[in-house]
């Protein structure tokens, strides 16, 4: 992780304007000096399970995964972050240590803000408090839905769902069919709750069925409608 000293912070303020605009000029001034911007390398850990939370983050550029290590070191990706999204605030608000780990999928630029200050400002700024209420409420709904689909859907359904999710979340390349994120088979497996071997195998099957086309880590969605069907009923 490298601190990005030279950056013009004012650009960051524009990026995080959804949060920034909720603050009074006094609050803005106060936070301005406390904020930092860091660059993380591909694969680098941002925070780890068990650590005590001190700052929240906002992803400015890149892609980040939030995951949890389970039985026998098997990782489960809990959610993924895209620019401009906030993360790492949950544990502090819950007065807990982190229960997840965050790492960069690819090189990422991340802005950090001390949670102590975020919390104290939230206690006097309703807009900010409600901002977090909204985000937490949305994430909890996603998490609840995910619990059921990960446990009840079959392998084909889970993979199809994950591919569609990646499209929804990170979008497509200019050709309008290739996923914009190039995940390793292992990460894809962690997302769809299966072993790496099964992710590879099932991708091959999807490819043979002309639902997708694979070229290394490039995945092109061909028959999205069919993928949706598989995601729903298996």
d(CA 229, CA 203): 16
- In degrees to the nearest 10, what's the CA dihedral of 80, 220, 193, 85? 10
The site partner of 196 among a copy of itself, DNA, none (C-beta below 5 to 8 Å per kind) is DNA
d(CA 83, CA 59): 5
- 141, 143, 204, 210: residue in contact with DNA (rule CB under 7 A): 204
Residue 130 token pair:
């409600």
Nearest to 75 by CA among 177, 160, 196, 220: 196
Contact status: 76 vs DNA (CB under 7 A): no
The site partner of 195 among a copy of itself, DNA, none (C-beta below 5 to 8 Å per kind) is DNA
Range in contact with a copy of itself (rule: CB under 8 A) among 31-39, 86-94, 108-116, 171-179: 86-94
Contact status: 65 vs a copy of itself (CB under 8 A): no
Contact status: 73 vs DNA (CB under 7 A): no
Contact status: 51 vs DNA (CB under 7 A): no
Phi first, then psi: what are they for 213, rounded to 5°? -125, 135
The site partner of 229 among DNA, a copy of itself, none (C-beta below 5 to 8 Å per kind) is none
Q: DSSP letter string over 32-58?
A: HHH-EEEEE-TT-EEE-TTPPP-EEEE
Interacting residues toward a copy of itself by CB under 8 A:
68, 70-71, 74, 76, 78, 89-91, 93-96, 99-100, 122-126, 129-130, 132-134, 136-141, 143-153, 193, 233-234
């Amino acid at each position: 992780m490298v601190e990005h000293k030279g950056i013009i912070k004012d650009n960051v303020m524009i990026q995080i304007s959804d949060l920034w605009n909720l603050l009074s000029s006094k609050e803005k001034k106060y936070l301005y000096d406390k904020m930092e911007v860091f660059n993380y390398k591909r694969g680098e850990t941002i925070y780890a399970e068990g650590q005590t939370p001190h700052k929240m983050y906002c992803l400015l550029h890149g892609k980040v995964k939030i995951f949890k290590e389970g039985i026998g070191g098997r990782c489960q990706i809990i959610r993924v972050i895209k620019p401009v999204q906030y993360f790492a605030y949950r544990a502090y608000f819950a007065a807990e240590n982190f229960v997840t780990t965050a790492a960069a999928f690819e090189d990422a630029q991340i802005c950090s803000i001390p949670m102590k200050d975020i919390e104290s400002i939230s206690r006097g700024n309703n807009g900010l408090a409600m901002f977090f209420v909204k985000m937490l409420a949305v994430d909890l709904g996603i998490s609840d839905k995910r619990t059921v689909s990960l446990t009840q859907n079959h392998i084909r359904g889970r993979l199809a769902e994950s591919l569609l999710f990646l499209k929804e979340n990170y979008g497509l390349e200019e050709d309008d069919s290739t996923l914009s994120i190039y995940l390793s088979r292992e990460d894809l497996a962690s997302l769809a709750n299966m072993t790496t071997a099964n992710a590879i195998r099932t991708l091959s099957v999807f490819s043979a069925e002309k639902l997708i086309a694979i070229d290394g880590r490039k995945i092109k969605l061909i028959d999205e409608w069919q993928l949706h069907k598989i995601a729903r009923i298996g």
